[in-house]
Amino acid sequence: MRRTDALGVIALTDSLIDVIDLSCKRDQRSLFEGLTHTFCPGDIVQIEGPNGSGKTSLLRILTGVCSDYQGDILWRGQSFSTDRLDYLNHLLYLGHLPGVKKSLTPRENLHWCSGMNSGHLQIPIVDALEEVGLAGFEDTPCHHLSAGQLRRVALARLYLTPTPVWILDEPFTAIDKSGVGKLETLLCEHAAGGGCVIMTTHQELSLEGVDKINLRDYQPKLVQWQQEEWGIDV
Amino acid sequence: MSNTKFYLPAPSAAAGFVAMLNRDLLLSYRHKGELANPLIFFLMVITMVPLGISPDPQFLASLAPGMIWVVALLASLLSMDVLFRSDFDDGSLEQLLISPQPLYFMVLAKVLAHWMVTGLPLTLAAPLLGVMLALPEGGYMPLCLTLLVGTASLSLIGAVGAALTVALRKGGLLLSLIIMPLYIPILIFGASAVSNAIDGFAIMGQLAILGAFAAVAIVLAPIAAAGALRVAING
């Protein structure tokens, strides 16, 4: 990161997202403090931490869904709230819930997603569904699909829209082994192509070159002190 | 970033609006039971009025404008709760909030779809129910007109309440408490327009007021609902 001018505006060379001194509180309880990180093209960043340490909260803050934070988030060097729609246009977020309508077919679900976004598709919807192993299920209502298949419908969006920033919350949940392998390859290709992946997972990844942010390192001081005092193993 | 791989044209609000409207209409079509719910409620209550109160046509005629309006309002209220609920439950509301679309138009599209499957059928069914309640001849046209404009306002105002209560598990009662007071002016002007028309008075004044309500609601209600949705999803 490079500070260039006196006004406190930070000009950054190639970074996509800059997180500066980010803190998040939930119900009076501080989840993490002083998180500073630069997300550049080509990065795959895994957010680590035990349950309840604020992984999902961090991802939701980065998408702009949750505004309950202190600190700055910059999108290409500018506060991400100044050009919110431009930021969102370059973002793909898959949350805990797949965001798939059960009474619609996979094709209809993806059609809606592309309509809501720029509508520019890299490959046809049918091909994207084939990529995630749902060939032949294009027109099956989603309530006939299993949990893993539902998640795959959501994951098909990764093939569809060419957004540089992917924020994935537990993308491997309910996905079988070969599916995980394929997804890892996809993440690598995305990073190699200049994209940026920010994700959480409890799964052991076989990926090379993954940056890790452990939220335990950003726990508030008081909590660390309490844990030592009470003899809790951190 | 000098990357040409990520070619992203700016999204068009019109395309987003149409996608949202299509999806909600398609969803309503798939859930035909829910679709028919307000209409069946409307039909049932109006059918029972002559049975429960009096089958005397003259008495019913004096009751008809207010009765039809009250039941239409309750039927609309009944259907409001589900407007954002299922989207909230399956995560599509989150996707909606982070889509690069102005939330105003997205909410407007959802409300329009909701009105097309509740308010519009209620308006179309109203003349039939007017016959059942022996509504005098001069009342049919004003009844349809006021319901057409009035139910649109009801859907728009109801959307604000639905957005405010979407994150609550049991928001139904609270929703009614929030939006009922806002529904009352529409009820007063709607019902009085129909009675006035039956008595042979001018109704332009009431129609103009209802139109003004609808115009204000179209501009302000989606903004309020969008804000409420952001708050709801934030928590």
pLDDT for B113-149, tens place per residue? 999 999 999 999 999 999 999 999 999 999 999 999 9
Among A95, A100, A78, CA closest to A87: A78
pTM of the model as a whole: 0.89
CB-nearest partner of B11 from A96, A104, A117 = A117
Q: How far is CA A202 from CA A61, A123, A146, A171, A172, in A?
A: 20, 30, 21, 10, 9
Could you tell me the pLDDT band of residue A2, with boundaries at 50, 70 and 90?
Answer: very low
Predicted confidence (pLDDT) per residue in A67-119, tens digit: 888 999 999 888 888 888 889 988 999 988 888 999 999 999 999 998 888 77
Closest Cα in chain A to B22: A112
d(CA A144, CA A137): 10
Buried b (16+ CB within 10 A) or exposed e, A126-155: eebbbbbbbeebeeeebeebeeebbbbbbb
What is the structure's pLDDT at A85?
Answer: 86
What is the structure's pLDDT at A66?
Answer: 87
What is the structure's pLDDT at B4?
Answer: 52
Is A144 in CB contact (< 8 Å) with chain B? no
d(CA B202, CA B193): 8
List residues of B whose CB lies inside 8 A of any A CB. 1, 3, 5-12, 15-16, 18-20, 22-23, 26-27, 30-31, 86, 89-92, 94-102, 106, 230, 233-234
Asked if residues A83 and A119 have their Cβ atoms less than 8 Å apart, the reply is no
What is the structure's pLDDT at A37?
Answer: 92
> Which residues of A fall within a CB distance of 8 Å from B102?
85
Buried b (16+ CB within 10 A) or exposed e, B211-225: bebbeebeeebbebb
Q: Tell me the ipTM for this assembly.
A: 0.86
What is the structure's pLDDT at A7?
Answer: 39
Every domain of chain B and the residues it spans: 14-234
d(CA B79, CA B37): 8
- Mean per-residue pLDDT over chain A, rounded: 85
d(CA B41, CA B74): 9
What is the structure's pLDDT at A86?
Answer: 87
The residue ranges of chain B whose pLDDT is under 50 are 1-3
What is the structure's pLDDT at A231?
Answer: 64
Q: Which amino acid is at B47?
A: T
Count CB neighbours of A189 within 10 A.
Answer: 10
Quote the minimal CA–CA distance from B35 to chain A in Å.
14
Quote the minimal CA–CA distance from B19 to chain A in Å.
5
Q: Is A177 exposed, middle or buried (0-12, 13-18, 19+ CB in 10 A)?
A: exposed
